[in-house]
Amino acid sequence: MPSLREHGWGRVINVGSRVATTPLPHLVEYSAAKAAVVNMATSLARHLAGSGVTANCVSPGVIVTPTMRRMFQDRAEAAGEDPDWSRLEPEVTVQSVRGPCGPCLAHRFWYLLASFLAITAPRSGVRPA
């Protein structure tokens, strides 16, 4: 951080999750850690204000990992529904992705946002070396 402040330009991008504000009962530690990431990014952004260094936290939405897939399959089984992932995936996508881009572009949107945050120069006109 000292080097970024010394150069008057830098980007700190943290990866958050919606569980920071909507914790999941079976992911207690993960939910608490993601809430801490959001808090850290907010505090860091305030600390760095005016230095040319920014701190942000982006949340990409649901990323299907084996753990997440199993969670949705377990929910389906508990509800007496077919847990086949090929049937569940379209439903999960529609239910889990909320935002202006819709389900098809959601993940691309977050990657683009993080890229934009990483390359955008501060208003001072100082550009990365």
Task: Please give the positions annotated as active site.
Answer: 30
Any idea which residue has 């700190």 for tokens?
12
Name residue 37's amino acid: V
Reported as half-sphere exposure (CB side, CA atoms, 13 A), residue 39 has a value of: 8
Name residue 26's amino acid: H
Name residue 42's amino acid: T
What is the number of other CB atoms lying within 10 angstroms of the CB of residue 30? 15
Contact present, 74 and 80 (Cβ < 8 Å): no
Distance of CA 57 to the CA centre of its chain: 7
